[in-house]
Amino acid sequence: MLAHFWVAFAAFFAALLLGEWQMYIRSPLRDWIGNPELYYRAVTAHGTAMGYVFPTLVAMGFGYAIVELSLRQAIVGRRWAWLGFWLVVLGTVTAMIPVSMGLATVLYTFYPPLIGNPFYYIGVVLVVVGSWIWVALMSVNLSVWRKANPGATVPLPMFANLAGAYLWAWTSLGAAIEILFQILPVALGFRHTIDAGLARVFFSWTLHAIVYFWLMPAYIAFYTLVPRAIGGRLYSDKMARISFVLFLVFSMPIGIHHLFQDPQVGSGVKFMHAVFTAMVSVPTLLTIFTITASVEIVGRLRGGVGPFGWLKKLPWQNPMMLAVAFSFILLGFGGAGGLINMSYQLDFAVHNTQWITGHFHLIFGGAIVIMYFALAYDLWPHLTGRALAAGRLMRIQLWTWFIGMIVLTFPWHVVGILGMPRRMAYFDYGHPALTPQAVTVIITFFGGLILVFSGLLFILVLMQGHRGAPARLPAFAFARPVHEGGRLPAALNGYALWLSLMIGLSVVNYGYPIVQLMALEQTSVPAVPVGERP
């Protein structure tokens, strides 16, 4: 588990530095580097490490910890777990070498008909295959536990963990099909054309649901760590289970809202995906209600009265309390931006602008990553056998991350509305239309600088904890619900119904556009190897 977390956080910090470097060279603070390729190379490495390697390893490490801590059993298939881990590491190295050499500057969304070195795609496939081993092990471990505990209720952390694993297995299938059957044959030289429109549809299968895979460890922490860490209980175990199964069902059939401006998909399909995108806000709203209620219970037990008096009584010195508050605030801003993106009409105004960059950095870098910090702080003593005593440093780290993320992302929203495109290597700030926007780029650079400082603090806190003296720690416990026991509906203790709905809705929402595009003739276009002009 520690190996997963350390490699994840090392990839995170390297990608963080690359992100800051991108903002610096795009800012008016220095002359342009002269070679745009170096910028896009950094974007590819930053996105690949942040999007695929970092969250995948966090989910895997947290998942293994949940098996041992919630099921109270040793991990079954430990050798397979190590194989999965080393495949992720091998895949990361295999992918990053061609990226660093400038042979796979295709950004992390692959962007066909642009085609990079085959080893980049093979590396990404190895990362996914390694994670699929984790998915299988989560299912196997639950099966072993069920045999040993017939009829027992699956502990909430493991129930939620399985939701994340199954979601990942299904959503990663889209990108896997795209790479294995469309991109790799071209990259290996077996074909010279590619259906870019169909490839984008397959990638959209993965593109949005992957965000909910990133979210799952954060949501598990909301429900199973936060109430206990701040001295309270979970408001409702059933509400938590409903939220996780709704994520499983509604997060998959929505990805085509990323293709609103793409002509190859019909308006009817786009409308259907917009409707389901709205539906996925339901489990998030349930989560905000349940966790806020759990937190309010703590405040009132500590003497808080009145509509808002309980807020002052909350344990704000506790890093977990700070983390969940910051995460909800950033999730609120990011979620509001998401509602704009899901609107077919409003999306026209912000499509492919810096607004989009600001939106997903608020969700991933803000709401999600800040909870990754919190769960690492919570688990670290139990993984290392050493107390993590740097409370003040942890609070400073969380505050600086929160402030840095706001300074970074809010200007992006402003210039996005003004039409500043994203993923541009540089801007001509001497142009009258862009001159007023130069200051926003400088602000984002300083926001990134604050984030780098915060990321460095995070690594230092963990290293300090790792080198501390061995300590005797109380047994690890997840949050207990206010009302324990009672009868739980069978549908909230298993996944047969929800997996059927997930697969059925995905087939309905993606089946028609995929079949339609595959039936069209002469839709393929010549592939463009990296470095060549189309």
What residues act catalytically? 208, 212, 359-361, 422-423
**Beta strands 525-526; 193-194: pairing state:** antiparallel
> Could you give the CA distance from residue 33 to residue 160 in angstroms, rounded to a whole number?
46
Task: State the virtual CA torsion across 477, 67, 240, 492 in degrees, nearest 10.
Answer: -130
Q: Could you give phi then psi for residue 528, rounded to 5 degrees?
A: -120, 100
Residue 506 · residue 253 · CB < 8 Å: yes
> Could you give the CA distance from residue 191 to residue 173 in angstroms, rounded to a whole number?
22
First to last CA, the chain: 45
> Could you give the CA distance from residue 207 to residue 172 in angstroms, rounded to a whole number?
9
Residue 341 · residue 320 · CB < 8 Å: no
Place of tokens 């409702």: 236
> Could you give the CA distance from residue 324 to residue 368 in angstroms, rounded to a whole number?
10
> Could you give the CA distance from residue 439 to residue 443 in angstroms, rounded to a whole number?
6
Per residue, the 3-state secondary structure of 370-423, as one string, reads HHHHHHHHHHHHHHHCECCCCHHHHHHHHHHHHHHHHHHHHHHHHHHHCCCECC
Alpha helix stretches (DSSP H) within 49-155: 54-70, 78-100, 118-148
- 365: closest CA among 332, 396, 337, 406? 406
- The reply to whether omega before 529 is within 30° of 0 (cis) is no
CA distances, 271 to each of 13, 246, 259, 345, 411 (Å)? 39, 20, 11, 11, 30
- Give the helix/strand (H/E) hosting 528: strand 528-529
Count the alpha carbons within 13 Å of 324 in the hemisphere toward its beta carbon: 32
